[in-house]
Amino acid sequence: MKLVRAKTKKDYQLLVNIDRECFPPGDVCTDVDDWKTGECYLVWVDGMLVGATALVLNKYFDWTTYEYEPAPGCMYIASTAILPTQQGLGYGRQVKEWQIKLARKRGCFMMKISTREANIAMRSLNKSVGFKVVGIIDPAYSEPTERGVDMELIL
């Protein structure tokens, strides 16, 4: 697996396309400037695009203000997306493990992530690598309206 940082307009369009394939309409980020808020990576396996991840360093997403707020030492995982045809092959776990290693390398002491309550696969994956549920956001998501689950990992 190879993660390549998004840099070009084409890279950012790939991120939008992956979002459209992986998430409900209310979760799709189509604004390139929003993608540039953090570090975005395309996930490649044997020359095939299988997913993407977006990370925001030293900030977390505040669901009450819908803004990123300063949080020194924190890595917020804004997105982890594996294309539907590639799910269940272990790529999500490899990306999670890579995210944790990167956070440690960057000197972070905490990681945070929020996910839809119904996204049991992502919640289970996060728990399997050590994330703990720290809160419920109600409501957090739209299209469809749904509660969110806040999780964190102390490194």
Tell me the CATH architecture of domain 2-154: 3-Layer(aba) Sandwich (3.40)
β-strand pairing of 39-45 with 67-82: unpaired
| Domain range summary for the chain, segments of one domain joined by + | 2-154
pLDDT at position 26: 81
What's the pLDDT tens digit per position in 118-148? 999 999 999 999 999 999 999 888 888 889 9
Instruction: Answer whether 110's CB lies under 8 Å from 73's CB.
Output: yes
DSSP-derived secondary structure letter, 28: -
> pLDDT grade, residue 25 (50/70/90)?
confident
What's the pLDDT tens digit per position in 75-133? 999 999 999 999 999 999 999 999 999 999 999 999 999 999 999 999 999 999 999 99
The helix/strand/coil state of 32 is helix
